[in-house]
Amino acid sequence: MDTGKTSMLALNARKGYSLDRNFYCDDGIFAEDMEHVVSRKWIVAGHVDRVRRKGDYFLFKIGDESIIIVRSGEATINAFYNVCRHRGSLICTQPSGRVSRLTCGYHAWSYGLDGELLAARLMPADFAKKDNGLHRCHVRVLHGFIFINLCERDPVDFDATFGDLERHLDFHGFAGAKIAHTQSYPTDANWKLVVENFVECYHCTPSHPEFSSMHPPEALIAFGAGTSSGPADAVQDYLPTLRAWERRAAALGRPSGTIDDGPDSSHLRLLLQRTIREGYDSETEDGRPASTLMGKRRAFDQGRMYLSFSPFTHLVATNDFAVLFQFTPRRTMRTDVDLTWLVDGAASDYDVPRMTWGWDRTTKQDKEITENNQVGILSKRYRPGRYSEHERRVETFQEWYFGQFGRSDS
């Protein structure tokens, strides 16, 4: 597929303005997005806690694809396209389960957990089972997070892309973490609207009272959506507070550092660490923890980590729990938004309502404002509008997005 429509419209995009409406509602552009952006990225499908035992599987749906994520051994998680090699039926139809074989319900072809075709009745003599195994999807596991990549050729190098995140993921103990709660917020909006909303905090004060209550206002302006998301003078004003917190956190063992990938990067990663509201130990209604310390922590450091693996997968970690955000494009104006709350693997006494208070409300609000944004853009009177200085990362995202259509490495 060529990149014609997107590239042509990109030429008319005005820097500092929101995108032309076609980027948010045109099926042809969505198809190009799937081909040139979504299918070339390493995207988190879920956490290993979903497939702890052999034969455990879950389905990850992205665009028109359904991917079977299955544990086939102690150390092996496989990912297969959920497409029978006989006549193409879905094989697994339940969203998750445990199986000893993957058996298609249509004519009962059955496959091993390694994808090999094991049984197919009454086939001609020249039929070779070994040539009819399931189509594999690229898969890697990094500190508990299962990444898939739909690329048909060699995908962008995984270790080179994410290797520098390991010390942070290790400190937070994600490999051994367990799932405390999951919630889905399917959003009737184009995936770029969902991402754009998540990478700006211009809307935090008007739209998110709970979220805003857990953070210093000056931090939300300076760093609400990343190190380069706010006005330069607000960043300068807040830096001394941030530096003082970094020194305290480092003394308690937290690995320091930030990452702020530019628009030329393959995954537009972001790593930001900062303090939460003064006197708060956790992102909860009253600041009291909802669980025990995660990972290698020795004490509460009043900080939080915001980590983007890509525009499709984000992680927010306070000291006692973390939230995984998955933004998965499904159709032109439909995006799956799935949140997973993670706690330390050894935690037993954790409080789910306390833990979900902030992000559950915030994500419901985000769903509403993003869907309203989509409906407004469908109007014939919509025209690209000017961004504030608090929406700089939206501009970076758009520059990155347009850049994907000329990439050769991924």
Residues that bind Fe ion (CB under 5 A): 366
- Gap between the Cα atoms of 232 and 228, Å rounded: 8
DSSP letter (8 states) at residue 13? P
Tokens read off for 63: 């665009």
7 binds ligand FES (CB under 6 A): no
Binding partner of 86, given Fe ion, ligand FES, none, CB within 5-8 angstroms per partner class: ligand FES
Q: Which does 104 bind (CB under 5 to 8 A by kind): ligand FES, Fe ion, none?
A: ligand FES
Rounded CA-CA distance 150/167 in Å is 27
| Cβ nearer to Fe ion, comparing 220 with 268 | 220
Nearest residue (CB) to Fe ion, 140 versus 361: 361
Nearest approach, Cβ of residue 126 and ligand FES (Å): 18
Q: Is 167 an interacting residue with respect to ligand FES (CB under 6 A)?
A: no
Q: Which is nearer to ligand FES, 22 or 89 (CB)?
A: 89
Q: Assign 46 to helix, strand or coil.
A: strand
Does residue 34 touch ligand FES according to CB under 6 A?
no
Counting every residue written for the chain, the total comes to 410
Residue 363 Cβ vs Fe ion, minimum distance, rounded to whole Å? 8
The answer to whether residues 24 and 374 touch, using CB atoms and an 8 Å cutoff, is yes
**Beta strand segments in 39-196, E:** 43-47, 56-62, 65-73, 76-81, 96-98, 102-103, 110-111, 117-119, 138-142, 145-149, 178-184
From 126, 98, 104, select the one nearest 117 (Cα to Cα).
104
Output 87 or 247, the one with its CB closest to ligand FES: 87
The whole-angstrom distance between residue 364's C-alpha and the CA centroid of its chain comes to 17
Which part of the chain contacts ligand FES (CB under 6 A), choosing from 81-89, 184-192, 196-204, 272-280?
A: 81-89
> Using CB under 6 A, which of 101, 107, 247, 364 touches ligand FES?
107
* Binding of residue 109 to ligand FES (CB under 6 A): yes
The partner in contact with residue 366, picked from ligand FES, Fe ion, none with C-beta cut-offs of 5 to 8 angstroms by kind, is: Fe ion
Q: Does 60 bind ligand FES (CB under 6 A)?
A: no
How many residues make contact with ligand FES (CB under 6 A)?
9
Judged by CB under 6 A, does residue 80 bind ligand FES?
no
Q: How far apart are the first and last CA of the chain?
A: 15
Closer of 196 and 366 to Fe ion (Cβ): 366
Residue in 38, 43, 70, 84 binding ligand FES, rule: CB under 6 A? 84
The residue range among 105-113, 253-261, 330-338, 386-394 that interacts with ligand FES, by the rule CB under 6 A, is: 105-113
| Contact partner, 258, from Fe ion, ligand FES, none, Cβ < 5-8 Å per class | none
When asked if residue 54 is in the footprint of ligand FES (CB under 6 A), the reply is: no
84 binds, among Fe ion, ligand FES, none (CB under 5 to 8 A by kind): ligand FES
For the bound state, the minimum distance from the C-beta of residue 338 to ligand FES, rounded and expressed in Å, comes to 28
Cβ neighbours of residue 364 closer than 8 Å, sequence gap 6 or more: 185
* By the rule CB under 6 A, 148 interacts with ligand FES: no
Long-range contacts of 278-282 (CB under 8 A, 24+ apart): 278/216, 278/302, 280/214, 281/319, 281/320, 282/318, 282/319, 282/320, 282/321
Told to check if 104 binds ligand FES by CB under 6 A, we report yes
Q: Is 200 exposed, middle or buried (0-12, 13-18, 19+ CB in 10 A)?
A: buried
Cα 61 from Cα 249, distance rounded (Å)? 38
Whichever of 108 and 375 has its CB closer to ligand FES, that residue is 108
Residue owning tokens 């501009």:
395
Least distance to Fe ion, CB of residue 230, Å: 15
Kindly tell me which residue out of 54, 86, 140, 361 binds ligand FES, with binding defined by CB under 6 A. 86
For 240, counting Cβ atoms within 10 Å of its Cβ (0-12 exposed, 13-18 middle, 19+ buried), the class is exposed
Q: How many helices (H) and strands (E) would you count in the chain?
A: 12, 17
Which among ligand FES, Fe ion, none contacts residue 383 (Cβ within 5 to 8 A by kind)?
none
Q: Taking CB under 6 A as the rule, does residue 129 contact ligand FES? A: no
* Other C-beta atoms lying within 10 Å of the C-beta of residue 367: 19
Q: Smallest Cα–Cα separation from 400: which of 198, 228, 261?
A: 261
CB of 128 to ligand FES, least distance (A): 16
- Chosen residue from 3, 89, 207, 258 binding ligand FES by CB under 6 A: 89
Q: What are the strands of the beta sheet with 43-47, ordered from one edge?
A: 43-47, 145-149, 138-142
Binding site for ligand FES (CB under 6 A): 84, 86-87, 89, 104, 106-109
